[in-house]
Structure 1
Amino acid sequence: MHNKNVGDKGENLATVYLEKLGYKILYRNWRFKFVEIDIIASKENVLHFIEVKTRTGAAFGRPEEAVTKKKMEQMKLGAEEFQYRNPQWKRVQFDVLAIRIFNDGNMEYWLNKDVYF
């Protein structure tokens, strides 16, 4: 599967998974300048900025290992702009959702909540 296809499939799976957990998806692929935030969602009056990483094999490591310091800094920049435009949110959280898609069609989800950087 091509990287873009894997990423798109992962974001679709992430949306369904998060909704099942009670998240309300507000935006997908929200953009500000050069920053893109995969998913912005809310749950229990907390605004969540969620980076989704998907892998179909182990060749490039676990999906969550692909979230770099630079990516997190970009998310923070995007989150600051989003909050500037939407000041009603008082509590925010940064999360990483790692998805592994196996050859047999099974999937593994790992939601790393409230990551710090």
Structure 2
Amino acid sequence: MGKQKKNTLAKGLEQEQKALAFLENKGYTLLAQNYRYKKGEIDLIVQKENWIVFVEVRFRASNEFGYPEQTISASKKKLLLQTAEQYTYETAWQGNIRFDVVAILGDTLEHFEDAII
């Protein structure tokens, strides 16, 4: 693995940890991190009350090329849905589910609930 790829992965994990701490402060409990199914991956799977929330974490150092929450493609959404479906199947979850985004712009975090359809 190249040095740039390792740096990108390390930066991604760092941002996911920031997002997780942010969500835990809001009362969410971590169920899984970097859950994979086939080609899909969900950054964070958290629970609050009777909701399982699938969270996509997006980071941008600046908004020069757009805001982090605007960078989720249709193909990424499809993979998120398939991966979430597998997770709910594996865990036999019968409660509510939701797809959220934690957008990190520089040092600012913003939580968008029900952001991915």
Shift of 1:33: 1.0
Shift of 1:5: 3.4
In 2: Cα distance, 1:86 partner to 1:63 partner: 30
Q: Does 1:39 align with 2:44?
A: yes
CA RMSD of aligned residues (A): 1.6
2:66 partner amino acid: G
Other-structure match for 2:67: 62
Q: Decide which structure has greater helix share.
A: 2
Percent identical residues: 32
Aligned equivalent of 1:14, options 10, 15, 19: 19
Instruction: Give matches, 1:1-117, under 5 Å.
Output: 2-101=7-106, 107-117=107-117
Shift of 1:37: 0.3
Q: TM-score, normalised by structure 2?
A: 0.88
1:3 partner amino acid: T
In 1: Cα distance, 2:60 partner to 2:12 partner: 8
Contact 2:63-2:105 within 8 A present in 1 as well? no
In 1: Cα distance, 2:36 partner to 2:43 partner: 9
| Cα shift readout 1:11-45 (whole Å, capped 9, x = no counterpart) | 01011101000000111100111110000000011
Shift of 1:88: 3.0
Contact 1:64-1:96 within 8 A present in 2 as well? yes
| Structure 2 unaligned blocks of 5 or more | none
Q: Which runs of 4+ in 1 moved over 6 A?
A: none
In 2: Cα distance, 1:42 partner to 1:89 partner: 13
1:32 partner amino acid: Y
